[in-house]
């Protein structure tokens, strides 16, 4: 324990001089001369000195006790002592430097004899003999024995093992040890033997025994008295602390003082520096001999030196010392009876402030990237996404931001590599910057940073735009105005997703005098990389949306057919999120009638648009059969069911669930509108006086369910009424239910003397959402009635003679209408049709002729049998009537009603 204390004290003294080395017990300063060291240690004025004296006493006591024990045991252990000493001496000499090398010298005796004799005398053995592996001596105390055979056992030593033996040699009884001399590879190259006579070991001890006993007694007495004195004094001065506690306290104090990251200095009451740890020396850049000198003479700045010398209380006072900002805390040391002076701690706040600043910058950049991830790409619009990038980056990263994209990207296509771009978005701290405006087409010259980025896909920093000839060459007049405006630095980053380069983003700096640097470049690349993904997603969506809209537009009617029964205006608006399955159609029917249809396939995307096209085509085909609305919806329902079965069997896509349809036929001769609907919202009717009504049309199930029949409703519409058909996207969305939408629609439709076009505009202004989530189809049809003077009707008896009367009546009517030139073909058509009705049909028979956009001849009868066109053989007497009708009429056909059928034929008016 005492040894440990001594080592710790020595180590600490080398690192740091403590106040105890320079002051007495009362803090008074004194200098110690070199000769005063032993006296100071023996005086016992310090704990270290007392411990040192106690250690010396204990050592002496141990030596004396050992000597006494040796003397008492020497007569019994003389032989053992000789064995140990001879073995030690032999091994020491065998392993001594130069011994092995001397064996290979030309004259080993000349080298080894002096060394062996010197070692023998120094070790007080009787002989040291060096020999070769054959036992021939190279050394011996008696030179005449050199070269002769060694007396003793050599075999163990030659085998590499030391051996000790007692023999009677030429100098009497002795103990000798023989050890091998080994080469580095372990081979024995020689032997060393050392020996001591038993008489010498025991004799010396016997002669010195009286003196040893006397010395041991005196030492014992002195040790006992000194130990008691030192212990008493040590207990008083250390306040009861033992050596272990003192050592631990000192080591902890020393370790903390030198390991702490704060500078610690102790200043005396007169301003002299008593202690400075390693950190204080570094922070204050103190000279090597600073301790003991006045702090005002250490080269510190005046404010810092005055603070340390004054000893006043200070808390986190910041002083500039060299290039460091030091926070100084100082307190006096004489509180509670301590010595006069002060202790100060020094903390370097330069790095802390720099780290704090860098941490703030890093935090702001992370916040910028987070906001970019949240704020960029909120829509699937390319232009809006580019503008969001500019809004996020200004002014937090750059003063101005411009985004230039290829025209192909704006159209949803993949751009070709080139330098022709269009300014798509711009943002800045001011609006008057002389940069290219949004929408302008820009062709970057090859020397510009933008062209380099487009060509290589790498970002470019231009720290000084005024000194960048490549950038200035783009447009000397405009670039000169940009530099004069104060924009001095640029980062150009390509908008790239994989190998696809869509454009460039330009970050411009004007307010901060520092140019963009490498860290700014890394942030710009990360920011643009995140935005590029969103812009590419928007581009892909634009492409898919354009394709779907194109498909949908191609499936919808491009031009409405000409007809006289209805004045029609319509609107079709696809959803923002994607095309849907809404559709409409206007279909002229025989007899001046017009069918108006509107439908909706629930869902969005190409599947919904394709399904809509199939349903529209089916309605066209079914309408050509001139079926009532309920029967047409029934056929359409069966078709949707078959489509569902086919697609479920293929397991390729979902069934067409949720398809709805409303089919209405308006007859201008009777002003009746026959309506049937399959799960579709009801139509609205605006009366000529401006009142709005939603007629009670039976609501059938959606198409494809096939569970219930459809019902029709007949509406009598006054001339000038407006029939309004629409899809649910107009009256229903996430923010309002259908009842609220219908109320808004009623309000928007109310009002007289509105054209269908004005009605469409008013409805959309009132009900169109900002971002429609579903397609919207709207049709407004204003009704017309066919005037009575354009309709001619005759009842025809079921006898052949009535055919002539019909021809005569038709001729007179055509003359009244000014259509005399059509009399012959009309008489021919009616003769054949009426003859067929009399011959093959049943009564009652009626003829009606309508003058509309064409001349329409209709023959009604009570039979449900339809005539068929065929080629008559040369020997047939009949069968050529319908063939003649088909040749002279533009169109002809058959339709059925509740009373039978109608055969009709149309001729164009001259």
Better pLDDT: 206 or 12: 206
Q: What is the pLDDT of residue 302?
A: 85
CB atoms within 10 A of CB 383: 17
Helices (H), 626-702: 629-650
Indicate whether 14 pLDDT > 50.
no
Indicate whether 171 pLDDT > 80.
no
Per-residue tokens: 196: 């001591």
Q: What is the pLDDT of residue 421?
A: 92
Q: Is 373 exposed, middle or buried (0-12, 13-18, 19+ CB in 10 A)?
A: middle
Per-residue tokens: 132: 């070769």
> Distance between CA atoms of 35 and 29, rounded to whole angstroms?
18
Phi-psi domain of 654 (left: phi exceeds 0; alpha: psi -120 through 50; beta: other): beta
Better pLDDT: 476 or 50: 476
Q: Is 735 exposed, middle or buried (0-12, 13-18, 19+ CB in 10 A)?
A: exposed
Strands (DSSP E) contained in 241-303 are 263-268, 273-276
Convert the pLDDT of each residue in 352-384 to its tens digit: 565 555 666 677 778 888 888 888 888 888 999
Per-residue tokens: 855: 């001349």
Per-residue tokens: 844: 């009652």
Q: What is the mean pLDDT of residues 800-809?
A: 87
Indicate whether 632 pLDDT > 50.
yes
HSE-CB of 805 using CA atoms within 13 angstroms: 12
Are 160 and 185 a contacting pair, CB within 8 Å? no
SS3 591: coil
- Lowest-confidence pick of 33-47, 284-298, 409-423: 33-47
Are 693 and 684 a contacting pair, CB within 8 Å? yes
Q: What is the mean pLDDT of residues 202-207?
A: 57
Q: What is the mean pLDDT of residues 756-782?
A: 88
Write down the pTM of the prediction: 0.53
- Of 415, 499, 491, 493, nearest to 458 by C-alpha is 493
Q: What is the pLDDT of residue 13?
A: 38
Residues across the chain: 910
Q: For the sheet with 791-796, list strands across it.
A: 791-796, 845-851, 854-861, 900-908, 891-897
Are 596 and 863 a contacting pair, CB within 8 Å? no
> Distance between CA atoms of 900 and 95, rounded to whole angstroms?
139
Backbone angles phi, psi at 580, to 5 degrees: -120, -155
Convert the pLDDT of each residue in 515-563 to its tens digit: 998 888 988 999 999 899 999 998 888 888 777 777 777 777 778 888 8
Convert the pLDDT of each residue in 561-610 to its tens digit: 888 999 999 998 877 666 677 889 999 999 899 999 999 887 776 777 77
pLDDT-derived band at 481, boundaries 50, 70, 90: very high
> Distance between CA atoms of 244 and 241, rounded to whole angstroms?
8
- Of 306, 351, 344, nearest to 325 by C-alpha is 351
Convert the pLDDT of each residue in 57-66 to its tens digit: 676 667 667 6
Q: What is the mean pLDDT of residues 783-809?
A: 89
Strands (DSSP E) contained in 510-622 are 566-573, 580-588, 594-604
Q: What is the pLDDT of residue 9?
A: 37
Are 844 and 862 a contacting pair, CB within 8 Å? yes
pLDDT-derived band at 684, boundaries 50, 70, 90: very high
Q: What is the pLDDT of residue 226?
A: 65
pLDDT-derived band at 837, boundaries 50, 70, 90: confident
Indicate whether 320 pLDDT > 60.
yes
Q: What angle do CA 273, 278, 281 make, to 5 degrees?
A: 55
Backbone angles phi, psi at 321, to 5 degrees: -120, 105
Convert the pLDDT of each residue in 713-749 to its tens digit: 999 999 999 999 999 888 887 777 888 889 999 999 9
Backbone angles phi, psi at 223, to 5 degrees: -60, -40
Q: For the sheet with 722-726, list strands across it.
A: 566-573, 776-783, 722-726, 684-686, 692-693
- Of 643, 645, 618, nearest to 633 by C-alpha is 618
Indicate whether 759 pLDDT > 90.
yes
Convert the pLDDT of each residue in 230-246 to its tens digit: 666 666 666 556 566 66
Q: What is the mean pLDDT of residues 84-88?
A: 86
Are 390 and 426 a contacting pair, CB within 8 Å? yes
- Of 503, 508, 516, nearest to 435 by C-alpha is 508
Return the bridge partners of 667, or none: 672
Indicate whether 350 pLDDT > 60.
yes
> Alpha-carbon Rg of the chain, whole angstroms?
60
Indicate whether 879 pLDDT > 60.
no
- Of 127, 193, 129, nearest to 162 by C-alpha is 193
pLDDT-derived band at 640, boundaries 50, 70, 90: confident
Are 552 and 628 a contacting pair, CB within 8 Å? no
pLDDT-derived band at 223, boundaries 50, 70, 90: low
The residue with tokens 């579903």 is: 774
Per-residue DSSP letter, 438: T
Are 240 and 166 a contacting pair, CB within 8 Å? no
Better pLDDT: 670 or 708: 670
């Amino acid at each position: 324990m005492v040894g440990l204390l001594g080592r710790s004290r020595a180590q600490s003294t080398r690192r740091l001089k403590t106040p105890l080395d320079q002051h007495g017990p009362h803090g008074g300063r004194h200098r110690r001369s070199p000769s005063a060291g032993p006296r100071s240690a023996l005086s016992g004025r310090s704990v270290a000195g007392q411990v040192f004296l106690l250690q010396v006493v204990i050592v002496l006591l141990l030596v004396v006790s050992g000597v006494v024990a040796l003397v008492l045991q020497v007569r019994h252990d003389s032989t053992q002592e000789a064995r140990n000493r001879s073995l030690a001496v032999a091994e020491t000499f065998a392993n001594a430097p130069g011994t092995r090398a001397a064996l290979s010298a030309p004259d080993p005796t000349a080298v080894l004899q002096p060394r062996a004799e010197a070692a023998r005398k120094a070790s007080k053995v009787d002989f040291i003999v060096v020999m070769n592996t054959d036992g021939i001596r190279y050394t011996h105390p008696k030179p005449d024995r050199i070269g002769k055979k060694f007396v003793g056992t050599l075999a163990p030593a030659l085998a590499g093992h030391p051996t000790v033996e007692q023999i009677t040699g030429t100098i009497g009884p002795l103990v000798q040890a023989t050890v091998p001399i080994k080469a580095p590879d372990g081979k024995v190259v020689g032997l060393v033997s050392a020996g001591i006579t038993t008489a010498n070991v025991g004799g010396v001890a016997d002669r010195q025994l009286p003196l040893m006993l006397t010395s041991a007694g005196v030492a014992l007495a002195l040790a006992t008295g000194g130990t008691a004195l030192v212990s008493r004094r040590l207990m008083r001065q250390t306040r009861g602390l033992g050596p272990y506690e003192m050592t631990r306290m000192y080591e902890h104090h020393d370790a903390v003082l030198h390991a702490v990251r704060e500078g610690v200095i102790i200043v005396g009451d007169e301003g002299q520096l008593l202690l400075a740890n390693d950190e204080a020396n570094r922070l204050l850049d103190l000279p090597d001999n600073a301790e003991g000198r006045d702090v005002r003479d250490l080269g510190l700045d005046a404010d810092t030196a005055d603070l340390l010398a004054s000893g006043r209380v200070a808390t986190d006072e910041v002083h500039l010392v060299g290039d460091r900002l030091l926070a100084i805390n100082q307190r006096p040391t004489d509180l509670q009876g301590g010595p006069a002076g002060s202790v100060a701690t020094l903390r370097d706040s330069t790095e802390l402030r720099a780290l704090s600043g860098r941490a703030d910058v890093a935090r702001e950049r992370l916040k910028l990237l987070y906001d970019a991830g949240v704020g960029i790409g909120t829509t699937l619009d390319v232009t809006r996404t580019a503008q969001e990038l500019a809004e996020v980056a200004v002014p937090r990263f750059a003063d101005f931001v411009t985004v230039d994209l290829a025209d192909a990207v704006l159209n949803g296509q993949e751009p070709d590599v080139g330098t022709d771009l269009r300014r798509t978005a711009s943002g800045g701290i001011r609006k008057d910057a002389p940069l290219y405006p949004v929408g302008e087409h820009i062709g970057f010259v090859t020397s510009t940073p933008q062209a380099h980025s487009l060509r290589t896909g790498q970002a470019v920093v231009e720290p000084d735009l005024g000194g960048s000839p490549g950038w200035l060459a783009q447009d000397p007049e405009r670039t000169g105005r940009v530099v004069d405006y104060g924009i001095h630095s640029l980062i150009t980053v390509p908008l790239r997703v994989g190998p696809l380069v869509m454009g460039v983003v330009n970050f411009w700096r004007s307010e901060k005098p520092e140019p963009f640097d490498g860290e700014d470049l890394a942030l710009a690349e990360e920011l643009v990389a995140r935005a590029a993904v969103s812009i590419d997603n928007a581009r892909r969506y634009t492409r898919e949306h354009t394709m779907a809209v194109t498909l949908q537009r191609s499936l919808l009617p491009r031009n409405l057919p000409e007809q006289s029964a209805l004045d029609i205006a319509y609107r079709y608006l696809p959803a923002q999120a994607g095309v849907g399955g809404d559709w409409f159609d206007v279909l002229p029917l025989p007899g001046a009638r017009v069918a108006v249809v509107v439908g909706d396939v629930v869902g969005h995307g190409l599947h919904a648009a394709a399904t809509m096209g199939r349903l529209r085509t089916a309605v066209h085909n079914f309408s050509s059969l001139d079926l009532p609305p309920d029967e047409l919806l029934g056929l359409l329902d069966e078709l949707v069911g078959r489509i569902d079965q086919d697609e479920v069997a293929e397991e390729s896509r979902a069934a067409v669930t949720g398809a709805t349809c409303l089919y209405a036929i308006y007859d201008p001769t009777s002003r009746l509108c026959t309506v049937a609907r399959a799960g579709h919202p009801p139509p609205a009717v605006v009366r000529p006086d401006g009142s709005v009504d939603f007629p009670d049309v039976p609501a059938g199930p959606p198409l494809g369910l096939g569970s219930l029949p459809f019902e029709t409703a007949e509406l009598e519409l006054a001339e000038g009424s407006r029939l309004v058909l629409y899809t649910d996207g107009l009256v229903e969305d996430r923010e309002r239910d259908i009842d609220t939408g219908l109320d808004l629609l009623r309000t928007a439709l109310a009002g007289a003397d509105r054209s269908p076009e004005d009605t469409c505009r008013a409805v959309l202004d009132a009900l169109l959402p900002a971002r429609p989530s579903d397609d919207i189809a709207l049709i407004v049809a204003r009704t017309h009635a066919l005037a009575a003077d354009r309709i001619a009707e005759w009842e025809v008896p079921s006898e052949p003679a009535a055919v002539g009367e019909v021809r005569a009546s038709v001729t007179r009517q055509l003359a009244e209408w000014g259509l005399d030139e059509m009399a012959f073909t009309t008489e021919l058509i009616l003769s054949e049709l009426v003859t067929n009705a009399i011959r093959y049909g049943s009564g009652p028979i009626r003829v009606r002729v309508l003058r509309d956009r064409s001349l329409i001849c209709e023959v009604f009868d009570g039979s449900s049998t339809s005539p068929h066109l065929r080629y008559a053989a040369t020997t047939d007497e009949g069968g050529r009537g319908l063939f003649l009708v088909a040749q002279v009429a533009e169109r002809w056909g058959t339709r059925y009603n509740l009373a039978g059928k109608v055969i009709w034929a149309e001729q164009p008016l001259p």
